[in-house]
Amino acid sequence: MSIDDLDSRLLVTMRENPRIGLTELARLLGVARGTVQARVEKLTARGVIADFGPTIIPEEVGYPILAFVSLQIAQGRLAEAVEALRPIPEILEVYGTSGQADLLCRVVARSTPDLQEIIASILTSPAVQRTDTTIALSTQLPYRIAPLLHAAVATP
């Protein structure tokens, strides 16, 4: 499924103004409020809009260390490994990957000793054979979606 120019402008405006109301959104886009509401409902139903919650910066709530932890999993024990990761609150995301690692985790920590404890906790699962950790030193290009939304409209 694709998006059109109005969907793209709507999504970009919502990202730039996360607390904007439908009436103001309609005014900025130059369309009727009902059109905006219908588009938002359609995009939400399609799963394009995943949530309306605030974006939380872990560093600002006491977790300044960001790391990416790759995991090698014992053959046939992927589900077990994922379940072992679920209770660890510092693990923000887990992706299944191809290549050397089976899983890639985005992890935050209060300090490097705290990160070491988190990794030790991950390794308590017999399903996890090995970890490899990369600590992010700085953000060179923060999460962005607007360029992709503009490109999605340009693509047939």
Which pLDDT score, from 0 to 100, does residue 55 have?
A: 87
pLDDT(154) > 80? no
Closest CA relative to residue 143, chosen from 98, 74, 101, 93? 93
Given a contact cutoff of 8 angstroms between Cβ atoms, the answer to whether 74 and 126 are in contact is yes
Query: Does 3.30.70.920 match the CATH number of domain 58-136?
Result: yes
pLDDT tens-digit map of 100-109? 999 999 999 9
Which pLDDT score, from 0 to 100, does residue 156 have?
A: 61
* CATH level 3 topology of 5-54: Arc Repressor Mutant, subunit A (1.10.10)
How many CB atoms lie under 10 A from the CB of residue 82? 17
pLDDT(155) > 70? no
Which pLDDT score, from 0 to 100, does residue 57 have?
A: 94
Which regions of the chain carry the CATH code 3.30.70.920? 58-136
Closest CA relative to residue 135, chosen from 63, 60, 55, 57? 63
Q: b vs e for 21-56, b when ≥16 Cβ sit within 10 Å of the residue's Cβ?
A: eeeebbeeeeeeeeebeebbeebeeeebbeeeeeee
Mean pLDDT, rounded, for 33-45? 97
Label residue 19 by pLDDT band (50, 70, 90): very high
The CA distance from 137 to 111, in Å, is: 13
Closest CA relative to residue 87, chosen from 121, 116, 134, 115? 121
Tokens of 136: 């992010």
Task: Give the mean pLDDT of the chain.
Answer: 95
pLDDT tens-digit map of 59-99? 999 999 999 999 999 999 999 999 999 999 999 999 999 99
Given a contact cutoff of 8 angstroms between Cβ atoms, the answer to whether 45 and 25 are in contact is no
The CA distance from 120 to 69, in Å, is: 12
pLDDT tens-digit map of 115-140? 999 999 999 999 999 999 999 999 99
The CA distance from 130 to 119, in Å, is: 10
- Residue 51 CB partners (closer than 8 Å, separation 6+): none
Which regions of the chain carry the CATH code 1.10.10.10? 5-54
DSSP helix/strand/coil, 148: helix
Which pLDDT score, from 0 to 100, does residue 39 have?
A: 97
